[in-house]
Amino acid sequence: MLINEELLYKYGASIHDYLPSEALFKEGEEVSHYYQIQTGLVKLNNVFQHKEKIESVIMSGESVCNFLCFTDQKFPVNAITITKTTIIKISKHDFDRLIKAHEDIAEKIQQYLAKRVYNNFIWMRSISSPSAEERLKGVLDYFKNLQIKPKRSRYLVPFSRGQLAAMTGLRLETVIRTVKKMEERKLLIRQSRKIYY
């Protein structure tokens, strides 16, 4: 967890359960809370001309757009749950009080933000490749590297082919063809409609 749950509760946080496809917030809304994922997955996306572009996926223990609690900007993305998700939510005002009272938390958030910016540059580099396979491998490597399990073990990809298409900017048909080619080259395994990388 980025911030200890008990500390968040001490400053007035509450817990909220969401079903898949529910919005935590929408693009253009005012930032009124800090969100930390207790369990589940949340995607940050934009929708242009009815086409979804997934900008990032946030996992258990991470916070969702916490940097915006330090600005007066509105949300530039939507935050939509991918799975059943439990969120710890604290008002921006109470979050500010917590940060001012605990300098060690502020330093931890700084380190987290630096890591997220670095990972976003890696993400952008991989999805800007003209090669469909390189784009897909870049996204799969990104998420596999976030896992605690040893790198040699297979990573169960928690995303549908449609979500992978939205993350990479590829057409669904291209993702399906590329997954088949990667399977033929033994770069991944498909079992029971699931992908292991």
pTM: 0.81
pLDDT at 182: 96
Q: What gap in Å lies between CA 81 and CA 76, rounded to an integer?
A: 17
* DSSP secondary structure letter of residue 84: S
Q: Which domains does the chain have, with CATH numbers?
A: 5-124 (2.60.120.10), 130-196 (1.10.10.10)
86 beta partners: 17, 39
Q: Which residue has the higher pLDDT, 153 or 158?
A: 158
pLDDT tens-place string over residues 95-130: 999 999 999 998 999 888 888 888 778 888 888 899
Query: From its phi and psi, is residue 25 left (phi > 0), alpha (psi between -120 and 50) or beta?
Result: beta
* Residues 27, 184: Cα–Cα separation, whole Å: 40
Confidence class for position 23, pLDDT limits 50, 70, 90: very high
Name the maximum alpha-carbon separation found in the chain: 55
Return the beta strands (E) in 11-148 as ranges.
Answer: 14-18, 23-25, 33-39, 41-48, 51-59, 63-64, 78-81, 85-91
Q: How far apart are CA 98 and CA 94, in angstroms?
A: 6
User: Per-residue pLDDT tens for 156-174?
Assistant: 998 999 999 989 999 999 9
